[in-house]
Structure 1
């Protein structure tokens, strides 16, 4: 029995469409299972791995059920109590929920089933507040479903209902968490790693690839896009000559924003995601984020904007990326000792203009030729 949450709030046409998307996502993970839906529930039969099911966005919880007809409920419930281990418990309670018309109320059914269980297990005591063992019964017209455990799902919206976003990822703690958060809000993600030629080592890319492998458990078709770019080397030479090295990170990130926008255009994505949080590092001050955002031709999503580092670390541990994200790498060799914290947009634009006038024009082109070829190959 699979349960969803926010889908309930949508209009009937949207709800129908989102339920179908959720079912397709479940089929992607369990292709050999049978899936169907009815009035707020999705049913799945076959070999089910709870760990995989818990990573499907849109599901708030799920339970492994024993089913029977309404007439069979008294007999089946006693057998279920034996299998559920009531003989080893001290207190218990039946929790009954109904959909449809029945002669008895939910409370009356629970009292009846509880009395029958006490006849078989006289050592038990009913405790409706905090029982040691709970038996849940969901009655839907003439069908009854019994379960004793509710597994927690990933929650959020079904993956894909909100479209696609590019995600700038570095393999560090923040960007994988930001990507995961937008997945949870129904966005399929295209992870993008911009390799700053001459400033990032192979270990950084390897760490990013390992992190993406973890996120693939939440989005099976996830594929890392790697764009190798030589712009920063040329830009940094100009900045060093002008004594403006403190603006290096801003020019670099504005370049990344433009690359992300182009990858989004090629794929029909609706924006891109970053792991930026307000004031966490020099390039993330309010002043500097204004400078960065101006370079974006499409929407920029920053789900971690109001998170502190401990909150982000907690989420990284929850989704399984933290241990990989803290693996040692050489870091970025272009970061200045004293980066600018309150850059002015007009100054940064002027620096970019001087870079344009000082370098080979081939360096300024967004280097997506190989990537575009791969996209076309995938579409075949």
Structure 2
């Protein structure tokens, strides 16, 4: 009998009511991703039987790690351990260790069972010069004893961690498909938020290659959130008029500020329609001109909803490392056009009064 043992961390720390609700959400997400599997729940553990694609478990938020394991009854454990050691070719290792965890009442302690099983293994494989190393063994045999049930495994696979997708509600994400915005969206998924991505089409200042890139990245994030569907909104008409007004007023270096504030306003409107509780962006302090503290302050004034910036304290190298880990990096660097509306020297210290005056003229002419 082959099972998968799933472990979670934060769920276990919650109150009974919250823990039960989050467990139910995690199991719901598991069944959506792996409808063929059968699920059994115990406190601190979830067991799956009939898993056809275990790689999907790596992308389910709320699972900190998982292991493929074998089951036996406690009365059969000693002989089963030896058969399991044959199966995993433990004799190819130079050193090994046995780790035992128990739940329930038994006539032995965990250290006693470790010593007993270790001696059995040493005796069977005495001709292979196998030795015990409790600090850094080449091979580890894990045994979980839960009352009269036993589970054996030799590998622990890292999961996505976090908390179950959806338990914290919905957020709207500004999503360009570059390196930063997908990582920001992923971080909020990891914290239990279902994310709705919004892409702004800035034609004629960009072309379809940017949208194609965003869609490529979105397909990867669907592995973490299956309903991650890009919503495309027009940004070009506003940007055309904004460039005209700013050029006339001699402050064309404010272009990116006005553009981003418009994105915030549109995102806020859609968020309220969708029942979302805030907006997510990939902004990090000082990374580009529009992301200085002065400019972020001006940007936030355009929106009454909370703006979440999970990358705010990270540098580019850290963000790229995470993008590679979650699988979005290669798609994010796929060739795409850059926005040609960006001025040569964007302002890093935007003044709110200038912004509001320019926006008033732009928005009135567009009937916003």
TM over 0.5, shorter chain: yes
- 1:161 pairs with one of 167, 180, 199: 167
Structure 1 residue 49 displacement after superposition: 2.1
Structure 1 residue 47 displacement after superposition: 2.6
Structure 1 residue 67 displacement after superposition: 0.6
Query: Residue 238 of structure 2 contacts residue 366 of structure 2 at CA under 8 Å; is this kept in 1?
Result: no
What secondary structure does 2:195 align onto? strand
1:150 aligns with 2:156: yes
Structure 1 residue 51 displacement after superposition: 1.7
Q: Which residue of 1 aligns with 2:187?
A: 181
Instruction: State which drifts further: 247-256 or 83-92.
Output: 83-92
Q: Which residue of 2 aligns with 1:346?
A: 353
Distance 1:339 1:200 in 2: 18
Instruction: State which drifts further: 13-22 or 117-126.
Output: 117-126
Output the aligned Cα RMSD. Answer: 1.0
1:33 aligns with 2:37: yes
Distance 2:328 2:146 in 1: 40
- 2:285 pairs with one of 255, 278, 283: 278
What secondary structure does 2:296 align onto? helix
What secondary structure does 2:150 align onto? strand
Query: Residue 72 of structure 2 contacts residue 80 of structure 2 at CA under 8 Å; is this kept in 1?
Result: yes
Which whole-Å deviations, capped at 9, do the CAs of 1:314-372 have from their partners, x for residues lacking one?
01111111111112222001101111110111221111112234x242xx3xxxxxxxx
Residues 1-380 of structure 1 aligned to structure 2 (within 5 Å): 1-122=5-126, 123-229=129-235, 230-357=237-364, 359-361=365-367, 364=368
Which whole-Å deviations, capped at 9, do the CAs of 1:164-195 have from their partners, x for residues lacking one?
10110101110000000111111011011011
What secondary structure does 2:344 align onto? coil
Which whole-Å deviations, capped at 9, do the CAs of 1:129-165 have from their partners, x for residues lacking one?
1111110000011100000000000001110111110
Distance 1:321 1:132 in 2: 33
Structure 1 residue 91 displacement after superposition: 1.4
The number of residue pairs the alignment matches comes to 361
Query: Residue 62 of structure 2 contacts residue 164 of structure 2 at CA under 8 Å; is this kept in 1?
Result: yes
What secondary structure does 2:144 align onto? strand
Query: Residue 238 of structure 2 contacts residue 362 of structure 2 at CA under 8 Å; is this kept in 1?
Result: no
Q: Mark the CA change 1:41 to 1:255 in structure 2 (over 3 Å): closer, same or farther.
A: same
Distance 2:151 2:52 in 1: 17
Distance 2:180 2:271 in 1: 21
Alignment gaps of 5+ in structure 2: none
Query: Residue 59 of structure 2 contacts residue 224 of structure 2 at CA under 8 Å; is this kept in 1?
Result: yes
Alignment gaps of 5+ in structure 1: 365-380
Distance 1:354 1:72 in 2: 81
Which whole-Å deviations, capped at 9, do the CAs of 1:206-231 have from their partners, x for residues lacking one?
00000000101101111111112311
Distance 1:329 1:154 in 2: 29
Structure 1 residue 126 displacement after superposition: 1.3
What secondary structure does 1:167 align onto? strand
